[in-house]
Amino acid sequence: MLLKKERVDLITQNIGKSKILILGDIMLDEYLFGNVNRISPEAPVPIVEIDSDKLLLGGAANVASNIRTLGDEPIMIGTVGADEASIKLSQLLKNCQISSEFLVTDNNRQTTIKTRIIANNQQIVRADRENRHELDDTVQNKIFSVFQSVLPEIKAVIISDYGKGVITKPLLEKVIDACLKKGIFIAVDPKETHFYNYKKVSVITPNHHEAGFAYGRRIQSDLDLKEVGHGLLEKLQAKSILITRGSDGMSLFREGVEPSHIPTFARKVYDVTGAGDTVIATFVSATCAGADLVEAAIIANAGAGITVGEIGTSSVTKEQLLEELDYNIQNGNVTASKNSE
């Protein structure tokens, strides 16, 4: 399949007209940048002399940021702690024009912070501050109540599961059931240990490691890929599975048809952090704008190609997306084939 410029223009023109709900694990991504010139006398570790820092939205909040940057309206639901980090998070959300009114404060948790120390353009270490226990019934009920209150307004739901305890099986079942009854598109960025909880969704977007782990077969060949993709599709009773494959692009599996393989658009790769968030956000925005699943996968692939060229989590604008797609159309890259080579 060749995606033509006329079709790209029509889809991108319609991006920005939908309300999309994001439910999942919200976090802050902290970056400390510096240089290493010596080794510590206290232990055989480098001393990083920090000269700058950056605080970004992470996890489900980064998905919401991607949705906002594309022009659609994100409705973000999740939990935060009653702590200083939640105040910083609220300010970042405000800066990105994302409402924090649907966040539920859980006094038994802290707001998740992932701190990455970057020295000489290389990540040295990551330090996590988080709780990973599942939400208690009271907090789950509060979240579902908020979800129900906004359900009539939304066109799609993105489940952003990082395994931090927000996406519990009981909550997930109620959310999926409510969406199926309303005919609302459901997309899941999965945690591999929860894989078989995501039944009957519209699309699930694992990377090839997650997909192989969930199915119990490492993807080392085209035959493995096909078996894992179709096998997961059947077990999950899902409408589609989009397996991201790094430098090999993406493969879209749908019931009753051969898989579609999309080659990577990335021209440079600096950091894959948040690339999965961009993939699912762009895929869902494109779908809400009238793209079919193959078209949405091609467009999401373009979005991922932009993101991996940046350090840290980043969001893609509609203008950047159109520019990237135009560039690849001119070079004959905007295709989806039945052959994964």
Question: Does 281 fall in a domain?
Answer: yes
pLDDT at 332: 67
Question: Does 81 fall in a domain?
Answer: yes
Q: Is the pLDDT of residue 269 over 50?
A: no
pLDDT band, very low/low/confident/very high, at 100 (cuts 50, 70, 90):
very high
Lowest mean pLDDT among 10-19, 53-62, 286-295, 297-306: 297-306
Cα distance between residue 298 and residue 282, in whole Å: 10
Arithmetic mean of pLDDT, 142-166: 97
Q: What share of the chain has pLDDT > 90, as a percent?
A: 78
pLDDT at 336: 64
CATH number at residue 20: 3.40.1190.20
pLDDT at 138: 97
Question: Does 50 fall in a domain?
Answer: no
Residues 6+ apart with CB under 8 A from 293: 203, 239, 240, 252, 254, 287
Report which of residues 332 and 79 the model is more confident about. 79
pLDDT at 28: 97
**What is the residue whose two structure tokens read 């035959």?**
223
Domain of residue 304, residue span: 5-27+59-111+131-330
Question: Does 339 fall in a domain?
Answer: no
User: How many residues are present in the chain?
Assistant: 341
Number of structural domains the chain divides into: 1
First to last CA, the chain: 15
pLDDT in tens, 296-330: 999 998 888 887 655 554 678 888 888 888 887 87
pLDDT band, very low/low/confident/very high, at 272 (cuts 50, 70, 90):
very low
Residues 6+ apart with CB under 8 A from 89: 26, 28, 57, 61, 80, 100, 111
pLDDT at 270: 44
Lowest mean pLDDT among 174-178, 183-187, 271-275: 271-275
Question: Does 139 fall in a domain?
Answer: yes
Cα distance between residue 62 and residue 70, in whole Å: 12
pLDDT in tens, 188-219: 999 888 999 999 999 999 999 999 999 999 99
Arithmetic mean of pLDDT, 29-41: 96
Of the candidates 72, 161, 271, 277, the residue annotated as catalytic is 277
pLDDT band, very low/low/confident/very high, at 266 (cuts 50, 70, 90):
low
Question: Does 48 fall in a domain?
Answer: no
pLDDT at 324: 84
Q: Is the pTM of this model over 0.85?
A: yes
Cα distance between residue 199 and residue 257, in whole Å: 20
Arithmetic mean of pLDDT, 251-260: 94
| Other beta carbons within 10 Å of 185 | 19
pLDDT at 271: 44
Instruction: Give catalytic status of residue 277 as yes or no.
Output: yes
Question: Does 79 fall in a domain?
Answer: yes
Question: Does 185 fall in a domain?
Answer: yes
Radius of gyration of the chain (CA): 20
pLDDT in tens, 214-232: 999 999 999 999 999 999 9
